[in-house]
Amino acid sequence: TCNAGFLDLEDDPLTLQGYWMKNGIEAQTGQPRIIWNNSYTPRAGGDAHITVDLDDNIIVATGLNETGHDFTQWDIFIYKITPNGTMLWNSTYPGNSSDLQYGISVDSDNNIYVSGTTNSSGVEDWDAFVIRLDENGTMIWNATYGADQADGGYETTIANNTLYLIGYTY
């Protein structure tokens, strides 16, 4: 189960998202204290990524293992919570094989972008992907990018209405 919460570092709160195999918190200044702590992931989760939208809501993208711990089928689980921890929505974005998320970002219209790698696209090697969601979690579009090698999309950022994706090919 993934746990999310806030640490109060004097005047600057820090939002944390856990990892199902290992949790870690590092505070560099102030006296940390937990404001709240909740569990949101219904099954085994994976690496998690977090961002905050323009309304200070917290959006998390994590993995969801549908087959237990054999790690053969991963889906993407995205959820949005209020600053006080109340769930606004959650959704699973399954493919026909494994999908792993590596990054999440929000644009100036509160659209959500999730990037990662997939082998659900019908090719032998992994491909990079980007999913665009509206602020309510409805998919607007998705795209895959790849060649004959393994490809993945690490992070996205948006500037001047242009989406930038950084990733890898090997």
Q: What's the mean pLDDT when you consider all of the chain?
A: 77
pLDDT tens, position by position, 93-136: 877 778 888 999 999 999 999 999 888 766 678 899 999 999 99
Inter-residue contact 147 to 167 (CB < 8 Å):
no
* 64 or 52: which leads in pLDDT: 52
Q: Is the pLDDT of residue 21 over 70?
A: no
Instruction: Measure the CA–CA gap between 121 and 11, rounded to whole angstroms.
Output: 45
For 62-79, b where at least 16 C-beta lie within 10 A, e where not — what string?
bbbbeeeeeeebbbbbbb
pLDDT tens, position by position, 70-97: 556 788 889 998 888 888 999 888 777 7
Q: Is the pLDDT of residue 137 over 90?
A: yes
Longest dimension (CA), the chain: 50
pLDDT bracket for residue 141 (50, 70, 90)? very high
Q: Is the pLDDT of residue 10 over 70?
A: no
Inter-residue contact 9 to 69 (CB < 8 Å):
no
The two tokens of residue 5 are 């919460």
Inter-residue contact 2 to 18 (CB < 8 Å):
yes
Closest by CA position to 49, among listed 159, 149, 164, 153: 153
Phi, psi of 146 (to 5 degrees): -175, 165
pLDDT bracket for residue 27 (50, 70, 90)? very low
Inter-residue contact 92 to 108 (CB < 8 Å):
no
Number of DSSP helices (H) and strands (E) in the chain, helices first: 0, 13
Query: Which pTM does this prediction carry?
Result: 0.79
pLDDT tens, position by position, 31-59: 666 666 677 666 656 678 889 999 989 89
The two tokens of residue 114 are 């999730």
The two tokens of residue 77 are 């689980």
Q: What is the pLDDT of residue 111?
A: 97
